[in-house]
Structure 1
Amino acid sequence: MRSSNPVLTSLQSEEARRGKANGGAFDPYASAVYPTNTWEDTSAPSIDRPMTVDDVVTKTGITLAVIIAGALINFFIGAANPGLAMMLTLVGGLGGFITVLVSAFSKKFGSKAVTLTYAAFEGLFVGGISFLFAGISVSGANGGALIGQAVIGTVGVFIGMLYVYKTGAIKVTPKFTKLMTAGLVGVLVLSFGNLFLAMLTGNNPLRDGGMLAIIFSLVCIGLAAMSFLQDFDVADKLIRSGAPASHAWGVALGLAVTLVWLYTEILRLLSYFNRS
């Protein structure tokens, strides 16, 4: 069973290769695959210690801090030079997307450089998107208030899904993973289809604030929330299987991707409800 998050899927693939190199296959959903010295590589000059929960929390915190710093920088750039801010937003969005692809298809996972590069790019993107909403008045509503509500909503969903995972209310099973993958592929196809439609005809039904756009955003928010369960599950199994501490950077990247997606969708949905 594999995660539908491309970053964490590639992380699992790396573990599978390492498991085979040590005489056994890696199964992230079993806690007793490896002997005590599974991660010992006698050909290497040093041994990376096993990953812990603290590693995941610390690396995720650092990644989010870089995103927030980049977002604040681009947000205030927008106040002085909106054109430059929008250019940086485009660079950030494209750069973040390319960085995720590099991580997904790279042979080396859990890279600190890749994760922090993604965070820097995505910070510019988040700051620019936030500026677009803060710089306008939506039916008399303050854009800054919408941003605050989106942040609170994102944190609330994250904590809520962590509670759901810890209590076992929803199990991450092979069927769950297949449904999630199908849903994410469907959203991706619809998003690209909507983009091409907007470019060719000017119509933007999935992002114009109408009923269809509201439903689409709710579906995206639901999928992002469910993606946290897979992210938590992969992190949990990697910790229990004794994965190297450096892999916490890969987990942090996967969580950051989901958090950014959730935030932007909540912010977009709130803007729909506050339009005149």
Structure 2
Amino acid sequence: MAQLMKTSNPALNSQVFRREYSGVGDTMTLEGTVNKTGILLLCTMATAAWAWHAFMQTRSAATVLPYLWIGLIGGFVVALVVTFKKTWAPVGAPVYALLEGLALGSISSVLELRFPGIAIESVALTFGTLLVLLLVYRTGIIRVTDKFRLGVIAATGGIALFYLAEIALGFFGIHFNSINGSGIVGIGFSVFVVIIAALNLVLDFDFVESGVTAGAPKYMEWYGAFGLMVTLVWLYLEIFRLLTKTRSN
């Protein structure tokens, strides 16, 4: 089973590279993937800044509520389309980044009023985590073994199932107050989720490297960058959630 799964990120898994790539023309490169990741980050920051500015003009959550829902729903739909139609990644990935920027900017700006400085702290911690894990991956301190891969995949799947169950049970008035609260249990859970989200970055690095080695087609640079963005968005939100808990406490 370990050989069938390269990463728990639904956008990046080893099945992408299980076909023959002979005669595809230009192939995926590490530099190209890095450059395209940078473009997606700029797209995200641009629309996040737009939503942030819109909120700060009125200081009303109602102002950015449409941006929030457009970003969340639109981003989810586009992510599904790109995941199942990888050749659309050159267009879908930037659209996903722009939509997620709207959602992140809306959430961040509203909570910034309650917790001043929390947005920049979350951004700094997210990019700091990205750089540190990239360094330890490139130096071989962390190696993506089968056991490591399956452990991260299992933990990520468990978190996803918990979140789905929490949403479903919420309709029946059942809530996990201790986990969502700012107590020791709630903070401990968020720390665990942040660690798992961060470790997914290592699997994503390994996926991109595998794609370059396999000679994947050029459009996979956009797909690899898209997959990294999916993980970075998740990591940012979990770090943001952790910081709100510590601030509340």
**TM beyond 0.5:** yes
Which protein shows a greater Rg?
A: 1
- Does the residue aligned with 1:169 lie in a helix, a strand or coil? coil
Partner of 1:98: 77
Partner of 2:35: 58
Q: Aligned runs of 1:12-161 on 2, under 5 Å?
A: 12-17=14-19, 19=20, 39-41=22-24, 47=25, 49-79=26-56, 80=58, 81-106=60-85, 108-109=86-87, 111-136=89-114, 138=115, 142=116, 145-161=117-133
Contact 1:63/1:256, CA 8 A, preserved across alignment: yes
Match among 203, 207, 210 for residue 237 of structure 1: 210
Q: Distance in 2 between matches of 1:200 and 1:158?
A: 38
Task: Specify every segment of 5 or more residues in structure 2 that has no aligned partner in the other structure, as ranges.
Answer: none
- Does the residue aligned with 1:168 lie in a helix, a strand or coil? coil
Contact 1:154/1:259, CA 8 A, preserved across alignment: yes
Deviation of 1:135 (Å) = 2.2
Q: Distance in 2 between matches of 1:233 and 1:117?
A: 25
Q: Distance in 2 between matches of 1:129 and 1:245?
A: 34
Alignment RMSD (CA, Å): 1.8
In structure 1, give the amino acid aligned to 2:22.
W
Deviating more after overlay: 164-173 vs 252-261: 164-173
Partner of 1:209: 182
Which string of whole-angstrom CA distances, capped at 9 and with x for unpartnered residues, describes residues 191-214 of structure 1? 122223333326342323233221
Q: TM-score scaled by structure 1?
A: 0.82
Q: Distance in 1 between matches of 2:134 and 2:216?
A: 21
Matched, 1:4 2:8: yes
- Does the residue aligned with 2:18 lie in a helix, a strand or coil? helix
Contact 2:89/2:226, CA 8 A, preserved across alignment: no
Task: Specify every segment of 5 or more residues in structure 1 that has no aligned partner in the other structure, as ranges.
Answer: 20-37, 42-46
Partner of 2:148: 176
- Paired-residue identity, %: 31
Contact 2:17/2:214, CA 8 A, preserved across alignment: no
The structure whose residues are more often helix, as a share, is: 2
The count of residues paired between Structure 1 and Structure 2 equals: 242
Deviation of 1:84 (Å) = 3.2
Cα distance change, pair 241–207 in 1 and its aligned pair in 2 (3 A): same
